[in-house]
Amino acid sequence: MMTLYYYPNTCALAPHVALEEAGADYRLALVAFERGEQKSEAYRRLHPLGRVPVLVTGAGVLTEVPAILAYIAGINPASAPSGAFELAKMYAFNAFLASTVHVTFAHALRAERWADDEAARESMRAKAPSEYVKLFFLMDEKMLVGPWVMGQQYTVSDPYLFVMSRWLRRLNLKIEEFPRVAAHYARMIQRPAVLRALELEGLTP
């Protein structure tokens, strides 16, 4: 049985949904951020940076959302394109979310990662929402094929976008500004696997 280490409404929700979609045999392990458990010595043995998600598999420990999603796609081939080019496009989208969209969001909440100076941190916090908006316009207008991220096929990119879309409201941004992303979100919350994962994390759609 696999174990997914998570905290609610974090990027760990993406592999959580993907595991539910796969019908995988897994259990959840809550990492109590309130108690700083992610920075404990024990947890850092799993994730040296002290972050979620971690997926413990029969073959070993995986970190980094795009890699965990690639693994889940491996055990649930229906959740990834079969053609080499389309598969690479899906990886490109996931890499974009991890390296650009997520990192932009983190500048709003975790500015201390990048600067010690309070004025510099404040400046990053202030700029992050408008950059997040630009990235969502890009996804809305140019990247999201529709109805799913990759087109007709629902893939592991969909729960990943879903999580980044949920974070809009954490920056006081309105998903309605991005009509195709909003439609994607509405489709996602029709899926039983998504609703199950949300419920298990104590979240509402």
Ligand X SMILES: N[C@@H](CCC(=O)N[C@@H](CS)C(=O)NCC(=O)O)C(=O)O
| Binding site residues, ligand X, CB under 6 A | 10-11, 38, 50-53, 64-65, 98, 110
Based on CB atoms, which residue is closest to ligand X, 33 or 180? 33
CB 4, min distance to ligand X, A: 12
Whether a cis peptide bond, with omega within 30° of 0, leads into 205 is no
Q: Which residue is nearest to ligand X (CB)?
A: 51
Work out whether strand 54-57 and strand 26-30 pair parallel, antiparallel, or are unpaired.
unpaired
Nearest distance, CB of residue 31 and ligand X, angstroms: 8
Residue at token pair 């045999």: 25
Is residue 155 within 8 A of residue 90, CB to CB? The reply is yes
Residue matched to tokens 């408008």: 130
Q: How far is the CB of 26 from ligand X (least distance, A)?
A: 17
Q: Are 91 and 66 in contact (CB under 8 A)?
A: yes
Q: CB 109 → ligand X: shortest distance, Å?
A: 9
Name the residue among 166, 173, 170, 171 with its Cα closest to residue 204.
166
Q: Which of 48/83 has CB closer to ligand X?
A: 48
Q: Which is nearer to ligand X, 10 or 165 (CB)?
A: 10
Q: Which lies closer to ligand X via its Cβ, residue 11 or residue 144?
A: 11
Neighbour count for residue 63 (Cβ, 10 Å): 16
